[in-house]
Structures are given as C-alpha cells and as structure tokens.
C-alpha cells in the first residue's frame, strides 16, 4: 500500500500552533503597497487563523485527519 502524500501547496501555506490552531500569512502584502493605507498594511502583518468551517478541509490537506 503506498503512502498518502501531503498536499504540497498546503504545507507551504499553513502552520500548526502549539495549541492546535491553524495559521496562515495574510494575502496582498507583496507589492503595490503605495496605494494601501498604513492601517491596512499593519493588519496584513498579523497571522490569520483558519475559520472553524474550513478547518476540517485544511487538516485533510495536511493529512492530520
């Protein structure tokens, strides 16, 4: 029986915290930053957390479930 592979794109995008929460880096902070407000850029620095509605799906991609 072959091993089941983890989804390569998911393992690069999501991290599991010590408490089991799934976090990711927020989008739209790579380029064209001049037109974005300071507040918007500051909020994009923070880590995002996966909503409970999508947690089962992300865990399946990461082979945690």
Give the total number of structural domains in the chain.
1
pLDDT at 8: 96
- Predicted local distance difference test score (pLDDT) of residue 20: 92
According to the model, what pLDDT value does residue 21 have?
A: 95
pLDDT tens, the chain, 65 aa long = 888 899 999 999 999 999 999 999 999 999 999 999 999 999 999 999 999 999 999 999 999 98
Give the count of alpha carbons within 13 A of 45, CB side only.
5
- Residue 50 resides in a domain: yes
Residue 20, domain member (yes or no): yes
Pairing between strand 14-16 and 47-49? Answer: unpaired
d(CA 39, CA 61): 33
CB 5 within 8 A of CB 53: no
Is 16 part of a structural domain of the chain?
A: yes
Domain carrying residue 33: 8-61
The residue ranges of DSSP E strands in 1-65, in sequence order, are 14-16, 22-25, 47-49
CATH code, domain with 53: 4.10.410.60
pTM: 0.82
Tell whether 1 is covered by a domain.
no
* Within a domain: 3: no
The values of phi and psi at residue 32, to 5°, are 55, 55
């Amino acid at each position: 029986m072959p091993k089941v592979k983890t989804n390569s794109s998911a393992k690069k995008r999501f991290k599991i915290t010590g408490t089991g929460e799934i976090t990711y880096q927020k989008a739209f902070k790579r380029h064209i930053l001049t037109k974005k407000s300071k507040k918007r850029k500051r909020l994009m620095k923070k880590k995002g957390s996966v909503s409970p509605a999508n947690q089962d799906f992300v865990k399946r991609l990461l082979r945690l479930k």
